[in-house]
Amino acid sequence: MKSAKAKALTFVAAAIIAVCAIEGCKARKPGGATPGGVAVEKIKIGFIVKQPEEPWFQYEWQFAEAASKDLGFELIKIGAGDGEKVMAAIDNLAANRTQGFIICTPDVRLGPAIAAKAKANGLKLLSVDDQFVGADGKFMTDVHYLGISARKIGQNVGKTLWEEMKKRGWKMEETAVMMMTFDELDTARERTEGAFESLVEAGFPKEKIYKAPQKTSDQPGAIDAANALLTKHPEVKRWLVAGMNDSAVLGAVRALEGQGFNAENTLAIGINGTDCIFEFEKEKPTGFFGSMLLAPKRHGYETAEMMFKWIKDGTEPPKDTRTVGMLITRDTYKQILAEQGLLKDKK
């Protein structure tokens, strides 16, 4: 039998242990530690992209990984090219005790389903690049988003095409615009409409801005669309080219080359700046004059940092964050890419 004193000490010890346990639980945060210094579950952040093979998304992942090293969280990278894979990816993240994820969805109309799935699994959600669209066809402004100022970037493309055309002294009557379009994607439509508006405002006749609708958003789709347009307008001697991204514009340039056009009579400007490096590295210049470099560092590092702070400290990111681009050309791309941390492996 224990003495009364021993029983009292046992009771006090048990009470202290219980209080410590309760207080310790209250103090736990993802990625933090208890007051006694006991490590708790590490923060895990998912990063889902629609086309992992594309340089743009590889750069986003690269900068997100840099953020994970700087801030001390685990990054889980997943490529998901369709809705089924996206849903499976979210389930996988939840099973791996991930606290939140960033996603560039393969279809913006999946927005409501992705948001519902994230909520059901208790995951914080941040969309990047392409903004979600709701069942009503409107942007889902209630979902946190970091993307580009699509129309403004398109306007910059149009302005640059006009200025370079005037610099070269091209005659208006011999020149037309090949506008590569993919209106199924809102950000793509915003870019090409911006370029159209800018060119018309500068003085280019809108009746000579010809649209080449792409059936697919890749380079082969752009080549097919450009070839279809070229057969309709054999009278055009010089072409200005714009589109939703580098791939679209490069496809148009390839189609033009097949019809005998070159750097002397083609002036093409893309968008992205990361998918056209090989074009600038060619020994002989092509009709691809330049690209509006976007900010993969911001889209990768900054989104990951936002998510980390949201999970760790409860600091909610802005609902809408926008980035803008800068022109790179054959003459300037090395310096600008190096400044942006995108030319590490280049000599």
Residue pLDDT, tens place only, 196-242? 999 999 999 999 999 999 999 999 999 999 999 999 999 999 999 99
Mean pLDDT of 300-319: 97
Residue 30: the pLDDT is 55
Token look-up 């004059």 returns 289
Q: Quote the tokens at residue 58.
A: 């590889």
> Is the predicted pLDDT of residue 17 greater than 50, yes or no?
no
> String of b and e for 206-244 (b: at least 16 CB within 10 Å)?
eeebeebebeebebebbbbbbbebbeeeeebebbbbbbb
Residue 36: the pLDDT is 36
Report d(CA 31, CA 33) in Å as an integer.
7
Using left for φ > 0, alpha for ψ between -120 and 50, and beta otherwise, residue 314 falls in left
| DSSP per-residue codes, 192-261 | HHHHHHHHHHHT--GGGEEEEE-SSSSHHHHHHHHHHHHHH-TT--EEEEE-SSHHHHHHHHHHHHHTT-
Residue 325: the pLDDT is 87
Mean pLDDT of 93-113: 96
Report d(CA 248, CA 118) in Å as an integer.
33
Mean pLDDT of 270-290: 94
Report d(CA 104, CA 129) in Å as an integer.
6
Q: Quote the tokens at residue 257.
A: 């080359």
The answer to whether 243 and 179 are in contact (CB under 8 A) is: yes
Q: Which domains does the chain have, with CATH numbers?
A: 44-147+296-323 (3.40.50.2300), 150-272 (3.40.50.2300)
Mean pLDDT of 321-337: 93
Mean pLDDT of 185-205: 95
pTM: 0.71
> Is the predicted pLDDT of residue 25 greater than 90, yes or no?
no
Report d(CA 201, CA 83) in Å as an integer.
40
> Is the predicted pLDDT of residue 14 greater than 60, yes or no?
no
The answer to whether 124 and 118 are in contact (CB under 8 A) is: yes
- In sequence order, what are the beta bridge partners of 321? 146
